[in-house]
């Protein structure tokens, strides 16, 4: 009886350990959600419309004039489509202002928040698009 109980506990622990990367994948613990980093006049170098999350790559000149190469992950492709995003929303060479929740490690990687295009149009992310890190269920596209 004790052996069966032990095996069940080991099995459940193994399943929980194997499943944890799935839960970690959708968390925001890796990002500093206290305030988005603003990349004014960033140049889009690539927009990858891929599953499960589109990626935005952009170059940004910091206050010292040094170029930083940023990569930002969006919410799901399907959710982005519901907000009007398409594979051609961003193009190589577009100059935009990007808001991103930077990785806590301070590398130029993060979770996309919103973009402001040169014509003033704003498009937000699907899950963490509000400026305070919360949901942006209204005004996701202005």
Please give the average per-residue pLDDT across 51-55, as a whole number: 94
Q: Is the pLDDT of residue 80 over 70?
A: yes
In contact, 125 and 74? CB cutoff 8 Å: yes
Backbone angles phi, psi at 96, to 5 degrees: -140, 170
Please give the average per-residue pLDDT across 105-130, as a whole number: 86
| Cis ω before 52 (30° cut-off from 0) | yes
State the pairing for strand pair 67-73/109-116.
parallel
Please give the average per-residue pLDDT across 35-60, as a whole number: 96
Q: Please state which architecture CATH assigns to domain 37-124.
A: Beta Barrel (2.40)
Q: How far apart are CA 89 and CA 92, in angstroms?
A: 10
The separation between CA 47 and the C-alpha centre of its own chain, rounded to angstroms, equals: 13
């Amino acid at each position: 009886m004790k052996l069966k109980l032990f095996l069940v506990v080991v099995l459940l622990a193994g399943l929980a350990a194997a499943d944890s990367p799935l839960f970690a994948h959708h968390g925001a613990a890796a990002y500093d959600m206290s305030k988005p980093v603003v990349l004014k006049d960033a140049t889009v170098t690539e927009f990858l419309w891929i599953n499960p999350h589109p990626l935005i790559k952009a170059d940004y000149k910091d206050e010292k004039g040094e170029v930083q190469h940023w990569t930002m992950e969006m919410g799901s492709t399907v959710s982005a489509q519901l907000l009007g995003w398409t594979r051609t929303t961003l193009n190589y060479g577009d100059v935009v202002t990007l808001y991103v929740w930077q990785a806590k490690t301070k590398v130029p990687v993060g979770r996309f928040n919103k973009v402001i295009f040169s014509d003033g149009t704003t498009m937000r992310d699907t899950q963490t698009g509000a400026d305070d890190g919360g949901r942006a269920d209204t005004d996701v596209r202005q």
